[in-house]
Amino acid sequence: MLLEKLFLNVLIVLAPVLVFTVFGDRSRYSNSPYAIGLLHGISSSLCLIFSYYALDLYWDLRYVPLVISTVYGGPVAGFINFLMILATRTYLGGDALLFGFISITLAFLGPLLFAKKIARLTGRRRIRAVVLISVIPSVVMLLILISYTFLKQVEKPLDFEPIWAVLFFGLIQTLGTWLSCTLQEFNFERALMKEEIQRAEKLKTLGEVAASIAHEIRNPLTVVQGFLQLMSATIVEGKNRSYLQFALDELARAEVIINDYLNFSKPKLTKYENFSLSDLIENITILLTPLASYKGIQFDNQVEQQIHMYTDRGQLQQALVNVIKNAVEASPEKAVVQIKLVVKGDRVELKIIDKGKGMTPEEIKRIGTLFYTTKESGTGLGTSVAVRIIEAMKGSIVYESEKGKGTVCTISLPLELQNSF
């Protein structure tokens, strides 16, 4: 009878996760801690109602939704679940009501203490951590059982063995927690995949529009530039000469912007070569020193020597210049921009660290989107191009930031990239 009740509880425990799986994409409240706490709280209450009663104690899986809601929904969701369990347990009553309150409180405090650390994990590591945390309620249940039976003379049912009951209870509770966590992680992976597909489609559309506009603009600009160069050959000095030079310089700048749009559309890695990445970083910092000196900013290069790569050097330089330049522009006056370069296995990891104003999680998610920038002036094109170039090189670029504390940009690249384009 105990096993039947516990297996029924497993189905009840999985119900909230299945509800979020089916309706999560259609509801704006799917990530609300109140919705998570309420649904899992109902699940805990139903587990209590359909529990097995023996030794004046309720044997059920009420703590599995409590652990899940606390870890995945946060303290608010966990507290809502906790209150609903208390209310249901009070309604059911019984001689061991005080022990029930103690058990519920102790079982809630365990996940609450570790919730933030576990929430930072992902995938299998988070599943293992949650399953491990679910052992706490099992231990609490065992201690309550020992304490209550020691203090009270409780009559044991004929078909009930406490030792086997605790063993089965722990195993099935672990199984329920594992199944629930696995479904939760499946939902997360599906949501991330959906966001990535939407982002890729958006970037593809923007890239096609950018390439079309760039091609259309480049042709008349080329004609204008040609005629201005012919005119400059006939005008040697005077104001007209300086005006022509200004016009030619601006046309050259427009050409650079157009090339950036074309690179955003589809970065082309054409000129593969072996080169020293260490030297490239040094050259880039020298190139950006005048810009940094204007604000009194210094570079702190912590670069391992003799790190060589095989890829398109020019494209990589363009991407790194854009990223490091952003770090300089985001930094306050007389700050330090750190650049760390190390080899990790068959990949190289580059960190650019600034002490600027930082970004919110929402702003970080939008990095790399065309026309998005946190600067007062700018199009966000440089960062977009940098992201596309790094991705074209089979690398990754990750931003970590906190408002008021600066930003860390981590770029990971393979040391050797085969020419497959």
Q: What is the DSSP string of 151-177?
A: HS--PPPTT--HHHHHHHHHHHHHHHH
| Paired tokens of 416 | 């050797």
Residue 119, sorted as left (phi over 0), alpha (psi -120 to 50) or beta, turns out to be: alpha
Helix-, strand-, coil-residue percentages of the chain, each rounded to 5: 65, 15, 20
Please tell me the distance from the alpha carbon of residue 101 to that of residue 148, in angstroms, as a whole number: 13
> 35-39: long-range contacts (C-beta < 8 A, 24 or more apart)?
36/69, 36/72, 36/73, 36/77, 37/69, 37/73, 37/76, 37/77, 37/78, 37/79, 37/80, 37/81, 38/80, 38/84
pLDDT digits (tens, 9 = 90+) for 100-113: 888 888 888 888 88
Write down the mean pLDDT value for the chain. 81
CA-based angle 341:346:347, to the nearest 5? 35
- Whether the pLDDT of residue 419 is over 50: the answer is no
pLDDT given for residue 133 in this prediction: 84
- Ranges 65-79, 237-251, 362-376, most confident: 65-79
pLDDT digits (tens, 9 = 90+) for 288-307: 888 888 889 999 988 877 78
Q: Where are the domains of the chain?
A: 2-198, 202-265, 272-414
Identify the CATH homologous superfamily for domain 272-414.
Histidine kinase-like ATPase, C-terminal domain (3.30.565.10)
pLDDT digits (tens, 9 = 90+) for 132-160: 888 887 787 777 777 766 666 666 665 66
Mean pLDDT of the region 206-217: 68
Taking the model in full, what pTM does it have?
Answer: 0.57
Q: Which three-class secondary structure state does DSSP give residue 332?
A: coil
Give kind and range of the element (H or E) at residue 325. helix 313-330
- Helices 2-23 and 63-73: crossing angle, nearest 10°? 30
- Ranges 18-27, 94-103, 293-302, most confident: 293-302
Please tell me the distance from the alpha carbon of residue 235 to that of residue 218, in angstroms, as a whole number: 25
Mean pLDDT of the region 92-96: 80
Sequence letter at residue 381: L
- Whether the pLDDT of residue 418 is over 60: the answer is no
pLDDT given for residue 417 in this prediction: 57
Mean pLDDT of the region 117-124: 82
Q: Could you tell me which residues come within 8 angstroms of residue 342 by beta carbon, excluding any fewer than 6 positions away?
A: 304, 348, 349
Sequence letter at residue 328: V
pLDDT given for residue 135 in this prediction: 83
Q: How far is CA 186 from CA 14, 190, 200, in A?
A: 13, 6, 21
- Among residues 377, 304, 378, the alpha carbon closest in space to that of 341 is found at 304
Please tell me the distance from the alpha carbon of residue 302 to that of residue 339, in angstroms, as a whole number: 6
Mean pLDDT of the region 373-397: 75
β-pair type (298-303, 57-59)? unpaired
- Whether the pLDDT of residue 46 is over 90: the answer is yes
Mean pLDDT of the region 167-178: 85
